[in-house]
Structure 1
Amino acid sequence: MRLINDIFDYEPPSSWLERPKQTVVLIHGLGLNSNLWETLTPYLYDLYYVVTYDLPGHGNEHVHPLPITWPDICDQFVSFLDKNRLNNVHLIGHGLGANLAVKAALRVPLRIQSLSLLSLPGFIPSEYLKQGIEDRIKLMLSSDRTSFITHILPSLTVQHESNEIRSRISQAYQNVHTGNYLKLLQLFRDNDTIADLKSLNTPTILLGGEQDPVYTPVLSAISASYIPQGRFQVIPGAANLVFLDQPKWTAYWVCKHIDTLSSNTIDTENMMPDTTISLHKVIQSGQHLLHNAQELNIQFLHSFRICVNGVELPTGWNKRFAKQLLLYLLLFPNATRQQMYDDLWPNYELKKAQNYLRVCLNHLKSLLEQYSEENEFLRIDREHVTLQGNIRCDLLDLIHNLKQAMAEQNKEVKAASILQIWENLPHHLLSGYVDDWILGTRDKIEWQLTALAHWMNKNGDVSDMAVNFNYVAIRNFLLEHE
């Protein structure tokens, strides 16, 4: 197949060459660096002042200490604009760099004239997103990044069999700092991109690759439809790295987008119609059904907090055994009623324990159903009581992460997993709970933490994440539990 580059006659209009030069700032994507823009910049130099920006841990700058947050990233970028006296710029961002460009436009809107978002990580089904991120984390933490690069390369470029292209991309991924990569990946995972796009007032064009297997043209079009002043264009013969696969087409659409603003003309050809409101309603309805409209978020580790479908339930949890019963159902999802009688009321006769369970279940049910939209979190039958719905709990996450870390054989992956566990570990684990069934769970967690702490003391130097980690917490833990 002949690429578009071979047949597209790129001649910018004379009006582009006659106007005063404006400034474009290029922000690369996660795991890459500014060197990869070299295919695109030759088509921009005659028209603009071109400035490149590196994400934390991706360039030659001092590695930013962990943790990294979106406010941190935005502050760094705005400081970069200040330092270089860049007050009226056009941002061109790829991947996570496109997310940062959107954040910057929301932070300092008067300084950002336009946005060109290349392969923006926007609308994507949550299950697919979660699995993709887990795969990337495991591959990135492996001792040899060759497997990671081999895995990701076909989704990035249609030229993945080219030795030159492979070498350039490989070099970028080999040089990126692992800890920063993982932190930025978490930012991407937790970011509400659609909410950001809805708030944009900056003229924006979104470019997507025709052959991008992750952010397909359909998904990119959905993302673009949320932008009030948004346009969308598919780049033929390109995968995710549209500027690498088709630099001429990418430059053409970026320049046309900027020129439209400069000439004060309105090009409505690719503007999103008002009918997209109906599309958004359908999407929201589908997501609502997919998750059963039931989202139960429970925090037990640092403090007790529970939200039902995003609404916090602050009261009623210290009555009628509600907090303990909820914790029991989380830890023992397959327990029978008889097991609950024995564990929760071991010193009561059966009839009295049955009555207590009935009263406590009714109270817990009434608490959970305040904002559950007529659906039930509690499923109660003659034999079992179980929680149902989309449930997230920090304690269950800790138990899951401990199990994975204990079983992990790869030293680098194990070390990185342990450091991530310790970053989120509370000072006191399940304090205030004295029941035998809770104490048994706490003892098991503390035994696993002790085993991992001993391992880390001996092997902690295997991970480059250890550079930014304070081992005092692990050593203090060992002293307290010896």
Structure 2
Amino acid sequence: MPFIQVNDINMYYQLYNEETSAETAVLLHGLGLNLELWKDITPFFERHYRVLLLDLRGHGRTERGTPALSWNLFVEDIHDLLQLLKIEHVHFIGHGFGGNLAIKYSLLHKEKVKSLSLLAAPAFYPQKSIHALIRRRRQLTSSGSMLPLAHSMVKGITLEPSGSRLFDAIVKSFTLVSPETYFEIFNLYLASPPNGDFDSLTHPTLSLVGSHDPLFLTSYTLSSRLLLKTQLLIVPHSSNAVFIDQPKLTFEWIHDFISGPPLETHDYCSLESEAAEQVIHYIHDIYEEGLYRLESLEVIQVDLLEPAESKPSILITDKE
């Protein structure tokens, strides 16, 4: 089995078309997932690219290691793997957390990256939303098992029916990640939100979001500055993991983006482009102002989804 020593861990990876002179596509999975979930889309990439799949630190077959997790640690894991495999330049395809890692890698190692394809990579998360997500997901893992969280998450990741091969593969992937690792990574979004990374993009970037993924559609819309930096496409009949629900179409759009001419760079000196940019920034500022006002109010939250034997919890501005 293809393991390699990367920093302090044994990393599991798969490399297809190793001897080809074709360009390299590196596929980075999302939080709680692993490289097995790329299996349906990999054959399409194999026809045109050298393809590198890997299990990120603490996921799948790759060891967690002992250092505290950080964005830079994950980025350097990827960088060292590329160096060891003697891969000079790459096209990153990243899902969710993997998309955020691809962006961070591109900011630290600009010369290595040729393009970014982001599949439902979080673009904008208010801090309060992250806290609420963490609180809810901690409740689901309070027994020490990831299985309740896995069954809750999978329904928002794919349109695949319960009991299907891919549905079960997603559930299994979550159970291979410890709750400690999962939440340590989730906390990275609190320490360093991804908003600013999108503003710093310089590489050609494609963003794909599923038509049945309302959370990320909203995230991309509210992070409207993103639209100035990427080509955004909505994948029909798909949820969060567009590469699972629509593997062929997702590949075709990514391949067209990689192999096609560079995206036209707008001249913001023109009246039309300048007006469009002003509108986008205005919408963003309105939303930021709304968040600021909400944070200054007292919010009453009643959780009625507690077990029958316990009393419903009542929170007033996050305090019980």
Q: TM-score over 0.5 for the alignment?
A: yes
Instruction: Tell me the equivalent position of 2:162.
Output: 161
Structure (1/2) with the larger helix percentage: 1
Task: Give the match for residue 119 of structure 1.
Answer: 120
Question: Aligned-residue CA RMSD in angstroms?
Answer: 2.7
Whole-Å Cα distance in 1 between the matches of residues 148 and 78 of structure 2?
A: 32
Distance 1:273-1:190 versus aligned 2 partners, 3 A rule: farther
Name the CA distance, whole Å, in 2 between partners of 1:129 and 1:180: 16
Aligned CA distance change for structure 1 residues 252 and 215 (closer, same or farther; 3 Å): same
Look up the match of 1:250: 250
CA deviation after TM superposition for structure 1 residue 60, in Å: 2.0
Aligned pairs for 1:34-49 within 5 A: 34-49=35-50
CA distance in 2, matches of 1:144, 1:179: 11
Partner of 2:219: 219
Q: How many angstroms does 1:67 deviate by?
A: 1.6
Confirm or deny: 8 A CA contact 1:22 1:89 kept in the other structure.
Answer: yes
2:93 maps to 92
Q: Within 5 Å, which residues of 2 pair with 1:373-388? A: none
| CA pair 267-247 structure 1, distance change in 2 beyond 3 A | farther
Identity of aligned residues (%): 27
Q: For 2:26 and 2:74, locate their aligned partners in 1 and report how far apart those are by CA, in whole Å.
A: 15
Partner of 2:232: 232
**Residue 191 of structure 2 aligns with which residue?**
190
Deviation at 1:190, TM superposition (A): 3.0
Verify the 8 A CA contact 1:153 1:160 in the aligned structure 2: no
Residue 209 of structure 2 contacts residue 234 of structure 2 at CA under 8 Å; is this kept in 1?
yes
Q: Once the 2 structures are TM-superposed, how far is the Cα of residue 287 of structure 1 from its aligned partner?
A: 1.6
In 2, Cα distance between equivalents of 1:273 and 1:64: 48
Alpha-carbon deviation of 1:267? 5.7
Give the C-alpha shift of residue 167 in structure 1.
Answer: 1.4
Q: Please say which of residues 137-146 and 203-212 is displaced more in the overlay.
A: 137-146
Match of 2:30 in 1: 29
Gaps of 5+ in 1: 1-18, 295-388, 392-408, 410-482
Q: d(CA) in 1 for partners of 2:188 and 2:283?
A: 27
CA contact (8 A) 1:68 1:184 kept: yes
Residues 28, 54 of structure 1: 8 Å contact kept: yes
Aligned-residue offset at 1:179 = 2.0
- Per-residue CA deviation, residues 167-197 of structure 1 (Å, 9 max, x unaligned), is 1111101111332211111112333212101
1:293 & 1:148 partners in 2: Cα distance?
29
Structure 2 matches for 1:100-139, cutoff 5 A? Answer: 100-139=101-140
Distance 1:289 1:221, change over 3 A: closer
Greater strand percent: which structure?
Answer: 2
Counterpart-to-counterpart distance in 2, 1:173 and 1:289: 35
Q: How many residues align?
A: 274
> What CA deviation, in whole Å up to 9, does each residue of 1:24-43 have, x standing for no partner?
00000000000000011111
Query: How far apart in 1 are the matches of 2:133 and 2:282?
Result: 26
Contact preservation (8 Å) 2:30, 2:98: yes
- Aligned-pair distance for 1:76? 1.5
Q: With structure 1 as the length reference, what TM-score do the two structures score?
A: 0.53
CA distance in structure 1 between the aligned counterparts of 2:123 and 2:216, rounded to whole angstroms: 8
Distance 2:167 2:76 in 1: 33
Q: Which residue of 2 aligns with 1:207?
A: 208
Cα drift, residue 281 of structure 1: 2.7
Shift of 1:122: 1.3
Match of 1:376 in 2: none
Query: Structure 1 residues 188 and 253 mapped into 2: Cα distance closer, same or farther (>3 Å)?
Result: same
In the alignment, which residue of structure 2 is the partner of 1:353?
A: none
| 8 A contact 2:26–2:51 mirrored in 1 | yes
For the structure 1 residues 136 and 31, does the alpha-carbon distance in structure 2 shift closer, same or farther, using more than 3 Å as the test? same
The answer to which structure, 1 or 2, has the higher relative contact order (CA under 8 A, 6+ apart) is 2
- Which of the two has higher C-alpha Rg? 1
Quick one: distance in 1 between partners of 2:279 and 2:67? Answer: 42
Opposite residue 236 of structure 1, the aligned amino acid is P
Within 5 Å, give how 1:69-88 maps onto structure 2: 69-88=70-89
State the distance in 2 between where 1:273 and 1:24 align: 33
Query: Conserved in 2, the CA contact under 8 Å of 1:66 and 1:180?
Result: no
CA contact (8 A) 2:23 2:49 kept: yes
What SS is found at the alignment partner of 1:39? coil
Cα distance change of structure 1 residues 268 and 241 upon mapping to structure 2, 3 Å threshold: same
Quote the offset at 1:201 in angstroms.
0.4
* Contact 2:29/2:98 (<8 A) preserved: yes
Equivalent residues of 2:222, 2:284 under 8 A apart = no
CA distance in 2, matches of 1:278, 1:89: 34
Shift of residue 223 of structure 1?
Answer: 3.9
What is the match of residue 54 of structure 2? 53
Gaps in structure 2 of 5+ consecutive residues: 1-19, 267-271, 299-309, 311-320
Distance change (3 Å), C-alpha of 1:64 and 1:249: same
Tell me, in whole angstroms, the C-alpha distance in 1 between the residues paired with 2:191 and 2:278: 25
Distance 2:109 2:239 in 1: 31
Secondary structure, counterpart of 2:56 in structure 1: coil
Q: CA deviation at 1:123?
A: 1.5
Query: Counterpart of 1:59 in 2: which secondary structure?
Result: coil
Q: TM-score, normalised by structure 2?
A: 0.78
Q: Secondary structure at the match of 1:207?
A: strand
